[in-house]
Structure 1
Amino acid sequence: MNESDYEYDPKMVQIFFERYYQDRGMVKWQGYYLSDHTAALKKEAHELAKRYPPKSHQSLEKRASILAEAYANHKTVSIQLDTLDLNGNFQPDLVGKLLGYHEDTLFLDNEQFVSLSEIRHVTLLD
């Protein structure tokens, strides 16, 4: 038997689609959405990396010196943490005045606590 031996029967086709065919719905489109979503995430990660580029890694002494000056003179600091998000990008800098410290934990005026060991770079803003 070959294909030319079969006759087209619209009634049989209708029965097949009504009783036996199971439409996979959105499953067949998943690959398209996944690639589009991945491309959008990569673009967003690239833009974030440009917005918050890594600053030079300062020594502990340098960071402590800048923070001591900021604390003594009530100056605002910008702090880049040495932690990355899930995409490997740096977070926005923490900006505020240094209100105090306890051991290696700093207290900023925006109610944030920062460990000295987590800091990558400190800049005086005032």
Structure 2
Amino acid sequence: MTKDFLTEEEWLPMVRQYFKNDYRERGKIKWNGFFLSDHTAKLKQEARQEAQADQAIWAEQQSLQQIQEQVRLAYEHSRLVQVQESTVNRDNQIPPIQEGHISGFFPEGFYLDGHAFDWQEIRFAKEQHGHYRTER
């Protein structure tokens, strides 16, 4: 390796020549595959969620004590739990029943796979027998 560096007057024309004649920017073509697959996956996920919301029905209303008991049992036995929120979304759709593992608690509620739920926002909870968590 040489310690000789080109001066600005020497390398600037060489760089201009390279970008003018040799360099081929693929631009958008290079990224189309990434954007297309990500966009398609997002559209499929949104369509799935919309279909679930359209088919959702209200689960039975439970008392706060029943909900807390089901969540506690699911946590103690490392089982899946199903929960349904009590409020409709901005499109006035019934929230679908969500399923997951209880990952912790806080004074006003619990975490279902890391997502916080307040006790007052839940209308239904049911521990899923036979569906165990593999890790905690």
The Cα shift of 1:67 comes to 0.8
TM-score, normalised to structure 1's length?
0.56
Counterpart position of 2:115: 112
Alignment root-mean-square deviation, CA: 2.1
Counterpart position of 1:54: 58
Please say if 1:68 is aligned against 2:72: yes
Question: In the aligned structure 1, how far is the partner of 2:68 from the partner of 2:126?
Answer: 11
Aligned residues between the structures: 80
Please say if 1:98 is aligned against 2:98: no
Give, as a single letter, the amino acid of the residue that structure 2 aligns with 1:119. I
Question: In the aligned structure 2, how far is the partner of 1:105 from the partner of 1:113?
Answer: 7
The Cα shift of 1:48 comes to 4.0
Counterpart position of 2:93: 89
| SS in structure 2 at match of 1:58 | coil
The Cα shift of 1:64 comes to 0.8
> Deviation above 6 Å: which 4+ runs of structure 1?
none
- Flag structure 2 segments of 5+ consecutive residues without an equivalent: 1-49, 132-136
**Deviation string, structure 1 residues 63-106 (Cα, Å, up to 9, x no partner):** 01111101110110111000102332212222110011011221
TM-score, normalised to structure 2's length?
0.53
Whether contact under 8 Å (2:67, 2:124) holds in the other structure is yes
Please say if 1:122 is aligned against 2:125: yes
Q: Between Structure 1 and Structure 2, whose CA radius of gyration is higher?
A: 1
| SS in structure 1 at match of 2:101 | strand
Change (3 A) 1:73 1:86: same
Identical aligned pairs, as a percentage? 20
Whether contact under 8 Å (2:110, 2:119) holds in the other structure is yes
